[in-house]
Every structure is written in C-alpha cells, then in structure tokens.
Structure 1
Amino acid sequence: MKLLSRIACVAVCLSCTAVAHAQMKHEDAIKFRQSAYGFLAWNMGKIKANLDGNFNKEQVANAAHAIAAVANSGMGALYLPGTDKGAGWKETRLKSEFFAQQEEAGKLARAFGAAANELDKVAATGDVAAIKAQFGKTGETCKSCHDKFRKD
C-alpha cells in the first residue's frame, strides 16, 4: 500500500510540474533564474569573505547549504525554449547555443550540482583548507557554464 501511495504521489507531483511549466511566462522563468543566480553569487561571496577574512564555520556551512539547495532545486525547468531572448529583471544573457547543446548543458549542470553537494559536505567539517579547495572547484563549474552559455 505504501508503494502505491508513493507512486500516486510522484504521479501527482509530476503532473503539477508539467502544468506549472506549461503555464509559466518566459519573463517569469528568466526572473526566477536571475534571482537564483543572484542568490548563488551572494552565498559564494559569503564563503569567499570568510575564507579571506575571519572564518566563521556556521556562516560558511549555511552558505554552502544554500548553494547546494539551489543546485538541487530543479532549475532546469526555468530554461524554457525561447528564454534565450527577452528580459526578467534585466535582459537575459543566455546564449541560444544552450538549446542546441542540451547534452553539454546537462553535463555542466550535473558537474555544478556534484561540486555544490561536495562543498556542502566539506563546509560542515569546518576544515578551512578543504573548504577552500572545494570552493575553488565549485567556482570552476560555474565558470565553465558561463564560458559556454552566457553572453558577456
């Protein structure tokens, strides 16, 4: 019975996601993306400030956890076809190549997710050297996607 309930719950969630995806305006998808990336940048900045200044384990762990949460939030749903044009809070910087290279985009997104999850784990330890190393790796995954799919 529990298995049947879980299957039903997953089916309902998937159908709600499909409906929400179909009804989302391009402008809203771009706004949500831009907001999420701003939130990521803010939390990356908090970690950098702690690594460069007075280290506070709790602040770093909280920021790393927020980064991992965004990385695992299913942001891919915000990349609706055609959202390489238009504006959210400002003009989008997504290159059209993103839609033609979905396999590469997925690979880069998975790399970021894995790096963010590892940063979350490492930050919880409070090991400054390990956090610094993983923070660099996480930043590299961001940069690789920017280099490939973001307009300057």
Structure 2
Amino acid sequence: MKIAIAGALCAALLAASVTAQAEVSPEDQIKLRKAGYSFMGWNMGKIKEQVIDETVSYNPDQVLAAANAISAISKSGMGALFGPGTETNVGDQVTRVKPEMFENTPDVITLSGDLTRAAENLVAAADEGDQSKVRTAFGEVGQTCKACHDKYRQK
C-alpha cells in the first residue's frame, strides 16, 4: 500500500513539475530552490543550536516549529524547480547541482522520499518533546541531506 501511495505521489509531483516549469523561468527556478534550501538550513540550524550544540536553551515549541518547516519544505514539490535549463548557471543565478542529477531521476526520487520520511520522524520526535529522540531524528535528516549532497552537489 505504501509503495502505491509513493508511486501516486511521485506521479503527482512529476505532473506538478511539468506545470511549474512552464510557469517559472530556469533562472527563477534556481533562485527559488536556493531560497527553499536556505530556509531549510536556517531551521536545521535552530534545532542544532538547541539539541546538538546546546548553545541555546531548549524550547520545544521552537524545535517543533522548525521541524514542521523542514517537513513542509521536504513535501513542497521543490523537485519542480530542477527543470530543463537549471543544470547550469543561468543569468546571475549560480547553481551547485551536478548535471548527473538530471540523469538519475529514480535515485533522486528515492533520496527525496528518504528526506520526507526523516523529516516526518523529526516532527514526531519534536512533538513528543524528548530531546534525545529529537537529536536522533535530527541526525537522520542530516544524513539524508548529506546523501544527496554527496552525490549531486558540487563543492
């Protein structure tokens, strides 16, 4: 059942990506995806400060809000922002995506699904308020990000 749902979701995302690509220029696609990942990174940083580094007092409401933002971004359909013409720099928008990403759609879909599942686990842990569980789930999100960066992000 989960595989069927995942397949339907992937088909819907693909359909949405075709529509979105027709409406958003390649330059704007790069700009928007960079903004989305920056926002995700900012929210990861808020959790890291509170749960990993412990340089900021733990605030369960803030951690939950950040986890929800990360999860929402992971499910936002940002794959639509990797349309044709966005594998290289466009205008004043610089991209660090490796062109190989555009040739490995099944792997990218798998990596994207891994991020979504890890982000949902982070939300569940944050909702419980257990810092230890949040720490573990946060690490899993970080590993899913790293898996994609290692394969498809230029240094």
Q: Scaled by the length of structure 1, what TM-score is found?
A: 0.85
Q: Is the 1:31–1:89 Cα contact (8 Å) retained in structure 2?
A: no
User: Could you say if the C-alpha distance between residues 88 and 77 of structure 1 is closer, same or farther in structure 2, counting changes exceeding 3 Å?
Assistant: farther
- Of 110, 114, 121, the residue aligned with 2:113 is 110
Matches within 5 A, 1:21-60: 21-51=21-51, 52-53=53-54, 54-60=57-63
The gaps in structure 1 that reach 5 residues or longer are 1-13
Matches within 5 A, 1:2-81: 18-51=18-51, 52-53=53-54, 54-81=57-84
Q: Deviations over 1:28-68 (max 9, x none)?
A: 00011000000000000000001122211011000000000
Alignment of 1:97 with 2:100, yes or no, is: yes
User: Could you say if the C-alpha distance between residues 104 and 15 of structure 1 is closer, same or farther in structure 2, counting changes exceeding 3 Å?
Assistant: closer
Which stretch of structure 1 is more off in the superposition, 136-145 or 52-61? 52-61
Number of matched pairs: 139
Cα displacement (A) at 1:21: 2.5
In structure 2, C-alpha distance between the alignment counterparts of 1:17 and 1:89, rounded to whole Å:
23
Cα displacement (A) at 1:25: 0.3
Q: Deviations over 1:54-88 (max 9, x none)?
A: 21101100000000010011111111022111247
User: Could you say if the C-alpha distance between residues 19 and 128 of structure 1 is closer, same or farther in structure 2, counting changes exceeding 3 Å?
Assistant: closer
Paired-residue identity, %: 42
Runs of 4+ in 1 over 3 A off after TM superposition: 14-20, 87-90
Q: In the alignment, which residue of structure 1 is the partner of 2:136?
A: 133
